[in-house]
Amino acid sequence: MYSHTTVGANDLARAKDFYDAVLEPLGLEVRYSGGGIIGWGPPGGRPQFLVVRPFDGGDPSVGNGSMIALLASTRSVVDACYEAAMAQGGLNEGRPALRPQYHRNYYGAYFRDLDGNKICIVCHEPE
């Protein structure tokens, strides 16, 4: 559905360590690194999740109401990504749980990365 999505970071090396740990349970790997951009994706393709130093040279900022949701195949993958985010210094925005207000099988976790970007890891499948 999409080619890539992008969040900004102040320190790309620190962001890489954070997202290497968080995205590993999803099976995503670094597909590109250079020129102020690091991109993770599935083996061999897209979509990609990019972390960049803003092109205008300014500080990255987060948007109110902005969030990136990454799809997990199982609820245990949601748990693993969330735990990795917390271990890497992420900020809890909603522990892994069923959220039936969205739909019966919505199991998601929410956190902010080291630069304040809001990320959701979600599984839509039954247990």
Q: What is the 3-state secondary structure (H, E, C) of 76-93?
A: HHHHHHHHHHHHCCCEEE
- Please give the pLDDT value at position 46: 87
pLDDT < 70: residue spans in the chain: 1
- Please give the pLDDT value at position 63: 85
- Please give the pLDDT value at position 1: 66
Four-way CATH pick for 4-53+66-123: 3.40.120.10, 3.40.50.150, 3.20.20.450, 3.10.180.10: 3.10.180.10
Task: Residue 19: name the closest of 42, 38, 43 by CA.
Answer: 38
Helices within the chain (DSSP H only): 12-23, 75-87
pTM of the model: 0.92
